[in-house]
Amino acid sequence: MLQFKLKRFLSINPHHYLFVTLIISLFFTTISNIALWRHFYKIVTNGDNLSLSFIITAPITIFLLMYAIFLILFSWKFVLKPACTLLFISCAGATYAAIQYGIIFDSDMLTNFLETNLNEAKSYISLYSIGAILILGVIPSILLWRFKVYYPNFIKSQLQRIAVTALVLVIAGISVIIYYQQYSFIGRNNRTLNKEILPVSYVHTTINYVKHRYFEKEMPYVAMGENAHKVTTTSKPKLMFLVLGETARAQNFSALGYNRNTNFYTNKENVISFANVSSCGTSTAYSVPCMFSNMPRKKYTAKRAENREGILDVLQKAGVNITWLDNDSGCKGVCDRVKNIRIEPTKT
pLDDT at 10 over 70: no
pLDDT at 1 over 70: no
* CA 80/CA 144 separation, integer angstroms: 9
Residue 131 CA to its chain's centroid (Å) = 21
**Predicted TM-score of the model (pTM):** 0.78
Consecutive H or E run containing 341: strand 339-342
Q: Are 195 and 104 in contact (CB under 8 A)?
A: yes
The mean pLDDT of 327-331, rounded to a whole number, is: 81
Phi, psi for residue 80 in degrees, rounded to 5 = -50, -60
* CA 61/CA 5 separation, integer angstroms: 32
**What pLDDT was estimated at residue 47?**
65
Consecutive H or E run containing 325: strand 323-326
pLDDT digits (tens, 9 = 90+) for 35-50: 999 999 999 888 667 8
pLDDT at 7 over 60: no
**What pLDDT was estimated at residue 346?**
66
More reliable by pLDDT, 111 or 208: 208
Residue 38 sits at the vertex; the CA angle it makes with 66 and 57, to the nearest 5 degrees, is 50
pLDDT averaged over every residue in the chain: 87
The mean pLDDT of 316-339, rounded to a whole number, is: 89
pLDDT digits (tens, 9 = 90+) for 287-308: 889 999 988 888 888 888 888 9
* CA 284/CA 289 separation, integer angstroms: 8
The mean pLDDT of 11-29, rounded to a whole number, is: 90
pLDDT at 216 over 80: no
Confidence of residue 348 (pLDDT cuts 50, 70, 90): very low
More reliable by pLDDT, 287 or 172: 172
**What pLDDT was estimated at residue 309?**
92
More reliable by pLDDT, 263 or 31: 31
More reliable by pLDDT, 117 or 152: 152
* CA 247/CA 243 separation, integer angstroms: 12
Q: Which of 4-8, 57-61, 143-147, 183-187 comes out lowest in average pLDDT?
A: 4-8
- Cβ of 132: how many Cβ atoms within 10 Å? 19
Residue 215 sits at the vertex; the CA angle it makes with 87 and 75, to the nearest 5 degrees, is 30
pLDDT digits (tens, 9 = 90+) for 61-103: 999 999 999 999 999 999 999 999 999 999 999 999 999 988 8
* CA 76/CA 190 separation, integer angstroms: 35
Phi, psi for residue 268 in degrees, rounded to 5 = -70, -20
pLDDT digits (tens, 9 = 90+) for 233-282: 777 888 899 988 877 778 888 888 888 888 888 888 888 888 787 788 77
Consecutive H or E run containing 15: strand 14-16
pLDDT digits (tens, 9 = 90+) for 98-126: 999 888 888 778 877 777 767 777 777 89
Gyration radius of the chain over CA positions: 26
